[in-house]
């Protein structure tokens, strides 16, 4: 199967009133586990590699190419997405490698600059046959869109999308990144207002901090892409810890990373299922 464009999958979700999960890859086991989970429940999935993860690996080509090959080897439509990127060279490299979905993160920039840069990146991605997600939080907010307390204004969001021609928009509605517990409360009224004001699919970041009922309520209110990173790291690490604790002589990484990868697959299938049937 060819790697899907982000916007094509999200348009289906918009039509169905559902959402797709977008899961972050750090190790190859993440990508393998995410695809195994999607295949187990037979639902499309978005696999994303963040600029931070690229920095960790010292480059995109190796981890990005491996992920693209895994996606192409699946029977499912799978989007391979570059997440939270602000480096234009990296975005161009991702497009050259075959990524069909990119998030340009200009959320820390002043309004005019975020608008101009996002519009230029949208043109670049569209010319390469890829779709683009942008982010709008507190205009000029120093901590980006997903710091606690930041909210996206529906009027500004509509203007931003019309001016930049982005295909989807990440909004600040009460979540924050890398929460270790699921205690975030999403602002459902704001999601509904944003959904009414903005024609493109809405994206929820920092979704590990939201419990199952909150995720489903956010989808019912209008979220179409749910970004989850920390939660998968938790289940991976819990499984690894259990294996290492059970046998302190263990040294073959396959013996502990294998169960970690299997735990990711189970959690991905579970989450995709509840996003596909939000009630």
Catalog residues that contact ligand G3H under the rule CB under 6 A: 24, 83-84, 177-179, 205-209, 227-231
- Which whole-number Å values give the CA distances from 122 to 101, 219, 229, 244, in the listed order? 11, 25, 25, 46
- Tell me the residue nearest to Zn ion as measured from the CB: 205
DSSP E strands in the chain: the ranges are: 20-24, 45-50, 78-85, 101-104, 131-136, 168-171, 202-204, 223-228
How many Å apart are CA 140 and CA 151, to the nearest integer?
12
Which of Zn ion, ligand G3H, none does 44 bind, CB closer than 5 to 8 A by kind? Answer: none
Q: Nearer Cβ to ligand G3H, position 179 or 217?
A: 179
- Shortest separation between residue 42's beta carbon and ligand G3H, angstroms: 24
Query: Cβ of residue 228: shortest distance to ligand G3H, in angstroms?
Result: 5
Residue with tokens 């189970």: 266
- Picked from ligand G3H, Zn ion, none, the partner binding residue 229 (CB below 5 to 8 A depending on kind) is ligand G3H
Kindly tell me the burial class for residue 39, based on how many C-beta atoms sit within 10 Å of its own C-beta (0-12, 13-18, 19 or more): middle
86 is catalytic: no
CA atoms within 13 A on the CB side of 241: 6
Q: Which residue has the tokens 């920390």?
A: 230
Question: Binding partner of residue 174 among Zn ion, ligand G3H, none, CB under 5 to 8 Å per kind?
Answer: none
Residue closer to ligand G3H (CB basis): 165 or 179: 179
Q: Residue 265 CB, nearest distance to ligand G3H (Å)? A: 17
Give whichever of 83 and 153 is closer to ligand G3H, judged by the CB atom: 83
- Of 205, 224, 225, 261, the one binding Zn ion by CB under 5 A: 205
Which listed residue (83, 105, 153, 187) is catalytic? 83
CB of 27 to ligand G3H, least distance (A): 15
Binding residues among 223-262 for Zn ion as defined by CB under 5 A? 227
- For residue 227, the cross-strand partners are 22
Contact residues for 240 (Cβ-Cβ < 8 A; gap 6+): 256, 257, 259, 260
Contact residues: Zn ion, CB under 5 A:
205, 227
Q: Active-site residues: which are they?
A: 83
């Amino acid at each position: 199967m060819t790697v899907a464009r982000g916007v094509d999958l999200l348009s289906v979700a918009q039509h169905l009133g559902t959402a797709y999960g977008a899961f972050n890859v750090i190790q190859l086991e993440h990508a393998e586990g995410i695809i195994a989970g999607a295949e187990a429940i037979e639902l499309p999935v978005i696999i994303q590699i963040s600029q931070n993860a690229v920095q960790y690996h010292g480059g995109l080509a190796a981890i990005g190419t491996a992920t693209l090959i895994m996606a192409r080897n699946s029977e499912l439509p799978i989007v391979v997405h570059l997440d939270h990127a602000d480096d234009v060279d990296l975005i161009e490299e991702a497009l050259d490698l075959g990524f069909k979905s990119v998030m340009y993160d200009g959320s820390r920039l002043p309004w005019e600059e975020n608008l101009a840069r996002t519009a230029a990146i949208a043109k670049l991605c569209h010319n390469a046959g890829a779709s683009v997600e942008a982010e709008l939080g507190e205009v000029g907010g120093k901590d980006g869109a997903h710091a606690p307390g930041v909210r996206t204004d529906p009027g500004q969001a509509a203007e931003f999308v019309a001016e930049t021609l982005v295909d989807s928009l990440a909004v600040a509605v009460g979540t924050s990144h890398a929460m270790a517990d699921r205690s975030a409360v999403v602002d459902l009224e704001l999601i509904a207002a944003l959904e009414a004001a903005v024609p493109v699919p809405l994206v929820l970041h920092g979704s590990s901090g939201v419990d199952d009922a909150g995720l489903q309520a956010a989808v019912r209110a209008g979220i179409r892409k749910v970004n989850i990173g920390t939660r998968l790291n938790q289940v991976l690490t819990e499984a690894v810890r259990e294996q290492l604790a059970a046998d302190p002589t263990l040294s073959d990484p396959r013996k502990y990373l294998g169960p970690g990868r299997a735990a990711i697959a189970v959690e991905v299938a579970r989450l995709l299922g509840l996003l596909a049937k939000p009630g």
